[in-house]
Amino acid sequence: MRVLLDCRMASWSGIGRYTNGLVRALARSGDIEIVQVVEAGDTPPVPDADSVESRVHAFYPTGGMELGRIVRRVAPDVTHCLHVPTPLPARHPLVVSIHDLIPLRVPGVMPSALRRAAYRFWNFRASGEADRLIANSNATKSDILRYYPHSGGYISVVPLAADDFASVDPLPVPAAIAGDGAPYVLSMGNTKPHKDLPTLLRAFALVHETQPALRLLLVGADAPGYVREVLGDTPATQRVAFTGFVADGVLRSLYTDAAAFVFPSRYEGFGLPPLEAMMSGTPVVCSDATSLPEVVGDAALLFPAGDHVEAAERIRRVLEDDAVRAGLVAAGRSRASTFSWDRTAAATLAIYRELLEGHRGRALR
């Protein structure tokens, strides 16, 4: 079976983790021949497998036409677009992965009207052209059916994984991030509305009242004035810091050494950070929104999305109760072990085979 994989977004965050994890696992399976379409200048996820360079942005209409020419030239048995941009015209059988519909669900996430229009176009086209859609969670599947009910029975749920992150060698945490060496709670520093950092900051301020040495580290680029805007000029404000960009090895160390990982997001298609934290042996506290309960199961302490008082209570339990902490560490590692890219690849391969055999797919065109 010859499969063309659209890897043009392999260097992006989020989509890139999915692209690299899945493509490398597919290559390891030995059951297929892969051809990777990569952005010019990027290293393919599997350097020793066939690849073709694209030179036009994936979300441009001309990018779709370029991908269409590549697909016609390669003539694969199956084309799999790992994000919603698809070949123009489509060649079948066609599989498309939809990771979330955040720009449709959450106002303000994508301010550019032009980008929103392109996003809507590609999602609508993917939902109509694909012989099979792959969603990373039941929550994402529900959203696809809500916005694109014509997708009907052609959506398969295939979870993501974080086991490749386990192979990353830990690196020392830079002194500028390590600070005074006091215990810290870790989270992601994305300030987009759906990530709901204000709830985390307010929860941290409550916990800080009884644990003044505690720090909050936010992985990501600094957002000058953001913390002060939420918390004002309070002592807790002085104990919050953004890390800036960190390499995966440093991130591994930050997870491992954290007193807890807290994820307050109101919307996730899947939610890899809690899975990475559990795999690293870090107790997880997260909101109960969308896909997160699917990912963490009973291996994390959940709080109602947006409720900073309940979030603070869960954080305190992790910090103050050794039995709770130990239980979460053990349960988290066990839960994380149930996700792997090899399982993701096996489920994806099964979809390819079903399409080629003519089972449960749309009539191949």
Q: Mind listing the pLDDT tens digit for each residue in 205-238? A: 999 999 999 999 999 999 999 999 999 999 999 9
Rounded Cα distance between 80 and 134, Å, is 10
pLDDT band at 363 (very low <50, low <70, confident <90, very high): very low
Q: What's the confidence (pLDDT) of residue 365?
A: 41
Q: Which of 189, 111, 130, 101 is nearest to 6 (CA)?
A: 130
Mean pLDDT over residues 132-156, rounded?
A: 93
**Residue 18: closest CA among 76, 124, 74, 98:** 98
Mind listing the domains of the chain with CATH numbers?
A: 2-161+340-357 (3.40.50.2000), 166-336 (3.40.50.2000)
Residue 361: its pLDDT value, please?
A: 44
52 vs 75: CA distance, rounded Å: 13
Q: How much is the pLDDT for 160?
A: 97
Q: How confident is the model at residue 182 (pLDDT cuts 50, 70, 90)?
A: very high
Q: How confident is the model at residue 362, as a pLDDT? A: 47
**Packing angle of the helix pair 308-320, 197-208 (nearest 10 deg):** 50
pLDDT tens, position by position, 72-110? 999 999 999 999 999 999 989 999 999 999 999 998 888
Q: Residue 145: is its pLDDT beyond 60? A: yes
pLDDT digits (tens, 9 = 90+) for 325-351: 999 999 999 999 999 999 999 999 999
- pLDDT of 30: 83
The per-residue pLDDT for 150 is: 87
What is the average pLDDT across 137-160? Answer: 93
| pLDDT confidence tier of residue 14, bands split at 50, 70 and 90 | confident
Single out the residue of 83, 81, 95 nearest to residue 154, CA to CA: 95
Question: What is residue 201's predicted lDDT score, i.e. its pLDDT?
Answer: 98
* pLDDT of amino acid 364: 43
**What does the pLDDT read at residue 360?**
41
Sign of CA dihedral 282, 285, 287, 291: positive
Give the chain's mean pLDDT.
Answer: 94
**Sheet harboring 155-157: ordered strands across?**
50-54, 33-39, 2-6, 78-81, 94-98, 132-135, 155-157
| pTM of the predicted protein model | 0.93
φ, ψ of residue 195 in degrees (nearest 5) = -80, -20
**How far is the C-alpha of 351 from the C-alpha of 349, rounded, in Å?**
5
pLDDT of residue 13: 82
